Structure 1
């Protein structure tokens, strides 16, 4: 019997021609054949249009999700070349769409910076499509060509207005060099490319589908990174509504009056262009964030026949990465948006293509354009987005490393220079700012534009071009140092607030380490480290344990008698706690009331907060039912929202609802009591009792505070789970409380003044506590 080795010969070798290798191993080119792979194909086509915008030749891109499952990407760039490429004797359209590693991005003449670099994007999408149609506007003509699974040919559609991949297809004949044909005419100055393709179900699995939300995020992101570029997304896959305007809006900040061209004498071509645009006008633009977009406002003729019920979203931003950072920011700002931009040069040895099409090593001077925007907020999450030629690099790379190294170096130096003002002891080696301290609350967008960047793999997750690191580091080091030291005009106050936040993060990290041993429930011996005012509950009931934060010492005695000590703990606070909206993290940690709450909860604070370590299942704010009590609850909510947010997000924070009045019944029902919680409820209840003929004591007791109740009353109305009323605090309520304090008690005076002016007429003098 022959062995495998003996039968192995040249006849066993398989040679895959053209794009067959892509269809055989699609994962090598698009990662997966599920939804992510499907979306990756779309990114490849969109990025080619964006590259035209980066080169300054494209102003509009339109992405259409058709009802038949196909996708179309249209742009007004230069259009794919239609002339014959000398080496292959094929038209430029066929070279781009059928040849791997072919295109205009390997030399330096057509694109200084681009997202598609490997020359495989369009051809890979073509190979993985059951059908692909391309139209190119150039030289006064519209050219058309079709492909089936990467092979050029001709489809015979029963209805040309509704092309289908299931229509009869005939491959290109051997005696015909190309199927590129002229199907119409356009004004000579009109150029552009339209690619429509149907993903091949033989390649993509049944779960693969276009993710509309992911598409919108990517398009919005691109509009930030290419200022002035208008990108429109049309989704025809929405239910029929009969209302052309429903689900149709746009996001733009381009002024309506902005003109694209100076006024000129009309030539014959310009007159033709004007007549063309009369039937197919360019999209109108205005400064509103959202508006209805009429179907008549079209950038090119490819959009005219879309159904009236389609969903349209349009994006255009002129502020670049500053607008992007503003969009990504959440919470209150610690600093304005800081911008770092500039240009650097480096040398790189690369394989260049000579006039004969041969590769040879060449040392080339590269230009690296850097554009960075950043801002610190009062939050603790880090939002850092990085891009190379508008392609996102989720894994970061050399540009991100250069940026972070530079700001870390300058911030440490600034902290040392301002140690006395920031109350940092340089003698203690532990008082050293870590990168995590700096990243807390940082929102930053880091972008670089370079020719022929080196990515790790076709998916381009990480930038590997090493010289970029030093370019970004040098620019950031110089410009950021002027900002963080306050030497640049207008940055002094901001830089100090940033340094205070970062130092506060450092102290919180150190404090979290020191208090780690008390993050879990302590036994009787260890409980001595807890605040002396804490009346803790018995251990062993962690899943039902409740912490009541009680307003004032006067109510504490009654609450002790009213509670169930097996699972209910009490922590009194002395009136209003610190307004953490205006205080720094260090000030908050040094405040006894705030520090006690954080210590008792036992899960840390800010970035080090770990909800799994919380010692109680419910945190209940128990304050008086008056204006002061509401004020204290708002202060507590602001503390929880800013420093222990997961407690609110997961529904562990509650407000006790103590009654405002007690009605003592008389007659046969003497000894019974009815509690009401507002003046309106009291009036309604009294009217109901009168109507039913039930007697009651006319001397209605009104509680001014929790301390006026006896233990039984407090237990029945506020503390006993069987009879009490609690209100769970939702995230939106905590966020509103935070915003109210930002407005009424924050550092910004003008918004507070405007609020007072706007609401002066609604002021009710009777509600003043006199």
Structure 2
């Protein structure tokens, strides 16, 4: 390419060259992309700025130098955080030539938490907290009590200097370096930071709710026993103040979080572990060198089980909340599952062949606070919501597993029975889960069954209006005769083999597995149980057609039990009938004019009455009188005339006049309790006509 060509390409307005690249220096990057550092520019991001300043004070408390923190929300929209820690260094940092405060507030990734010397465990890690707040504030005032004096410096949108008047809009003179404003006692140390959020950055409605600050400060006081935190809100019509101090630590926090009655006292599980981590470290020449560093990780867990079903788990790393968990919570969960399963097997609450309990079973009714402390933890993102240090999983699992096993093996005084109650609660939760899963599987199976093709043995009719009738026929032999006897326009036939399942005793799963019950539900086509829709039923009437004997009565009873339990609306609507086939047939010899040759009787009493009547009239009949043992003994004409032809048949409508009484009768006659049924049979035995028994 010639020089002329290169020059032309550079001047090309549509080209892309180095002059199009932007280089953001210092805190410009934070102001350009604030969401990258604080998540958002709404109320959540504003609260994050306050937490960044508070967390610096908390780190001093963790290190053992701070016993008091004050948080004030001023009426002018500014926030002030005060502590009595060592104070941010005010001497000159040799590499930059700036005071320590100015370095911390204006340089990204600068602070006392990188080398592991100033803080063994801290919430701030990346050295961007204070500098990010400074970049996103219209004004920041910092005062440090140290070395017998109060040192001060102000910043306007990240630039150091001095304001001549109060407030963020006052006259500002850009100036580097600290100024001394008063003398204090040599032993007096601490830091005061007040910042006014920049309205050019945050949305108009961004605010930090009082309740959010109160909850956060209460939580911090729980996590650092002996630390006193004062909160003051001056923004409303009345000033609201509160003080938090909890000497009981996370045990007290666990009790505070739990809303249900306890099954067991709060258990405290503590321990520590070691791991090696490879991190880049600056050498004397300013080069980053990968170095193996030995780390200590402290584990402190408080947990208790209550009578409720909700789970509350709070996790923290160096008192920084990790609402989305992380590797430490994974270790805690794994330890719980392993130890609880071992104890359930040891106490025989879980037998051979039983499924292991899972995390969800164990967490039911559990309140837990999981805290770990370690230098330079690895988080996913500046917002520190998830711990990523992989070694935490192993160490927390080991500590929690070991200490929890000790509790179960050697229960504290008075805790043996409560520990047993915890195991029983976990087993109960597992059984409930398995039952719910079974119910879902049954529902899926039922839906698949209801939507599948109709069974091949169905002999369907041509019409689908209210006239349509479904005859549920006992046996294949009767089906052959019924096919010839029916009116195919509106009468459908479904044969069943023998006695179907007694669904009063069986579970839903067993009912759906039964071929006969499944076929009946499929053919009617309106679902079953709670999902039954009577408007979707394929037939206007259901007619039970069984033999006129004891077995036939039993089959009708079993079918009615199925209809009562799973298709109740059909009975309520009066759309279920029982066919009444004849029991006897009298064949007359030389019948008189207008007299039928065959006379059908439906009961033994009716037969006796007819025979007496014929004898009185001198009418002879063929002996012996035929007694039908089943529907299959009739020919098609006889079955049509006596049982299926609407012009001549007799149907009994099955009604439920008293639903409660009907439920009791079904439970008595068909339920799983044998004793009440035996009493019923014994009590009614004296009323039975022995001659009616087929023996």
Report the TM-score, using the length of structure 2 for normalisation: 0.63
Determine which of 413, 417, 425 is the counterpart of 2:346. 417
Cα distance, 1:497–1:14 mapped onto 2, change above 3 Å: same
Cα distance, 1:334–1:573 mapped onto 2, change above 3 Å: farther
Determine which of 37, 52, 70 is the counterpart of 2:45. 37
Cα distance, 1:98–1:466 mapped onto 2, change above 3 Å: same
Matched, 1:322 2:251: yes
Cα distance, 1:9–1:522 mapped onto 2, change above 3 Å: closer
> Which residue number corresponds to residue 92 of structure 1?
100
C-alpha separation in 1, matches of 2:147 and 2:253: 37
Matched, 1:456 2:383: no
> Which residue number corresponds to residue 670 of structure 1?
none
C-alpha separation in 1, matches of 2:568 and 2:156: 76
C-alpha separation in 1, matches of 2:133 and 2:560: 65
C-alpha separation in 1, matches of 2:560 and 2:416: 45
> Which residue number corresponds to residue 142 of structure 1?
150
> Which residue number corresponds to residue 69 of structure 2?
61
Deviation, structure 1 residue 493: 1.4
C-alpha separation in 2, matches of 1:530 and 1:410: 48
Alignment of 1:106-125 (within 5 A): 106-125=114-133
C-alpha separation in 2, matches of 1:89 and 1:320: 42
> Which residue number corresponds to residue 200 of structure 1?
198
> Which residue number corresponds to residue 361 of structure 1?
290
Deviation, structure 1 residue 485: 4.1
Determine which of 61, 77, 84 is the counterpart of 1:76. 84
Determine which of 414, 419, 441 is the counterpart of 1:495. 419
Cα distance, 1:92–1:571 mapped onto 2, change above 3 Å: farther
Determine which of 205, 214, 217 is the counterpart of 2:215. 217
Alignment of 1:694-709 (within 5 A): none
> 1:485–1:495: 8 Å Cα contact kept in structure 2?
no
> Which residue number corresponds to residue 279 of structure 2?
350
> 2:30–2:132: 8 Å Cα contact kept in structure 1?
yes
SS of residue matched to 1:475? helix
Deviation, structure 1 residue 537: 11
Matched, 1:426 2:352: yes
C-alpha separation in 2, matches of 1:571 and 1:203: 72
SS of residue matched to 2:48? helix
Determine which of 490, 504, 507 is the counterpart of 2:431. 507
Cα distance, 1:6–1:66 mapped onto 2, change above 3 Å: closer
> Which residue number corresponds to residue 483 of structure 2?
none
Alignment of 1:640-659 (within 5 A): none
> 2:272–2:298: 8 Å Cα contact kept in structure 1?
yes
C-alpha separation in 1, matches of 2:291 and 2:533: 72
> 2:113–2:125: 8 Å Cα contact kept in structure 1?
yes
> 2:564–2:571: 8 Å Cα contact kept in structure 1?
no
> Which residue number corresponds to residue 403 of structure 1?
332
Alignment of 1:159-170 (within 5 A): 163-170=166-173
> Which residue number corresponds to residue 441 of structure 1?
365
> 2:532–2:567: 8 Å Cα contact kept in structure 1?
no
Deviation, structure 1 residue 225: 0.6
Deviation, structure 1 residue 357: 4.8
> 2:563–2:570: 8 Å Cα contact kept in structure 1?
no
> 1:140–1:185: 8 Å Cα contact kept in structure 2?
yes
Deviation, structure 1 residue 394: 1.3
SS of residue matched to 1:520? helix
Alignment of 1:730-745 (within 5 A): none
> 1:376–1:442: 8 Å Cα contact kept in structure 2?
yes
Matched, 1:310 2:313: no
C-alpha separation in 2, matches of 1:497 and 1:573: 36
C-alpha separation in 2, matches of 1:100 and 1:457: 15
Cα distance, 1:65–1:522 mapped onto 2, change above 3 Å: same
> Which residue number corresponds to residue 635 of structure 2?
none
C-alpha separation in 1, matches of 2:269 and 2:292: 29
> Which residue number corresponds to residue 480 of structure 1?
404
> Which residue number corresponds to residue 691 of structure 1?
none
> 2:70–2:83: 8 Å Cα contact kept in structure 1?
yes
C-alpha separation in 2, matches of 1:335 and 1:480: 13
C-alpha separation in 1, matches of 2:227 and 2:572: 62
C-alpha separation in 2, matches of 1:234 and 1:392: 22
> Which residue number corresponds to residue 139 of structure 2?
131
C-alpha separation in 1, matches of 2:100 and 2:106: 10
> 2:272–2:299: 8 Å Cα contact kept in structure 1?
yes
> Which residue number corresponds to residue 16 of structure 2?
8
> Which residue number corresponds to residue 370 of structure 1?
299
Write out per-residue CA displacement over residues 607-630 of structure 1, whole angstroms, 9 at most, x where no aligned residue.
xxxxxxxxxxxxxxxxxxxxxxxx
> Which residue number corresponds to residue 687 of structure 2?
none
SS of residue matched to 1:29? helix
Write out per-residue CA displacement over residues 480-500 of structure 1, whole angstroms, 9 at most, x where no aligned residue.
112234555544212201100
> 2:98–2:177: 8 Å Cα contact kept in structure 1?
no
> 1:133–1:195: 8 Å Cα contact kept in structure 2?
yes
Determine which of 207, 216, 237 is the counterpart of 2:235. 237
Matched, 1:386 2:315: yes
Deviation, structure 1 residue 512: 2.1
Write out per-residue CA displacement over residues 572-594 of structure 1, whole angstroms, 9 at most, x where no aligned residue.
999xxxxxxxxxxxxxxxx99xx
> 2:281–2:291: 8 Å Cα contact kept in structure 1?
yes
> 1:23–1:127: 8 Å Cα contact kept in structure 2?
yes
> 1:535–1:570: 8 Å Cα contact kept in structure 2?
no
Write out per-residue CA displacement over residues 83-112 of structure 1, whole angstroms, 9 at most, x where no aligned residue.
000000000000000000000000111000
Structure 2, unpaired ranges of 5+: 1-7, 444-507, 509-528, 535-541, 543-558, 574-655, 665-671, 674-695
Report the TM-score, using the length of structure 1 for normalisation: 0.57
C-alpha separation in 1, matches of 2:560 and 2:361: 31
C-alpha separation in 2, matches of 1:57 and 1:401: 32
Write out per-residue CA displacement over residues 674-724 of structure 1, whole angstroms, 9 at most, x where no aligned residue.
xxxxxxxxxxxxxxxxxxxxxxxxxxxxxxxxxxxxxxxxxxxxxxxxxxx
> 2:345–2:351: 8 Å Cα contact kept in structure 1?
no
> Which residue number corresponds to residue 711 of structure 1?
none
SS of residue matched to 1:219? helix
C-alpha separation in 2, matches of 1:536 and 1:32: 56
SS of residue matched to 1:117? coil
> 1:135–1:145: 8 Å Cα contact kept in structure 2?
yes
> 1:130–1:201: 8 Å Cα contact kept in structure 2?
yes
User: More deviation in 14-23 or 88-97?
Assistant: 14-23
Cα distance, 1:317–1:531 mapped onto 2, change above 3 Å: farther
SS of residue matched to 2:530? coil
Deviation, structure 1 residue 169: 1.1
SS of residue matched to 2:376? coil
C-alpha separation in 2, matches of 1:366 and 1:503: 39
Structure 1, unpaired ranges of 5+: 158-162, 173-177, 240-308, 541-564, 575-590, 593-770
> 2:324–2:385: 8 Å Cα contact kept in structure 1?
yes
Matched, 1:46 2:44: no
Deviation, structure 1 residue 354: 3.7
Query: How many matched pairs?
Result: 467
Deviation, structure 1 residue 66: 0.3
C-alpha separation in 2, matches of 1:395 and 1:126: 27
Write out per-residue CA displacement over residues 331-375 of structure 1, whole angstroms, 9 at most, x where no aligned residue.
111111111101111111111234555432111110001000001
Determine which of 151, 158, 164 is the counterpart of 2:159. 151
> Which residue number corresponds to residue 103 of structure 1?
111
SS of residue matched to 2:236? coil
C-alpha separation in 2, matches of 1:539 and 1:452: 71
Determine which of 527, 530, 534 is the counterpart of 1:520. 530
> Which residue number corresponds to residue 487 of structure 2?
none
Matched, 1:187 2:185: yes
Write out per-residue CA displacement over residues 644-694 of structure 1, whole angstroms, 9 at most, x where no aligned residue.
xxxxxxxxxxxxxxxxxxxxxxxxxxxxxxxxxxxxxxxxxxxxxxxxxxx
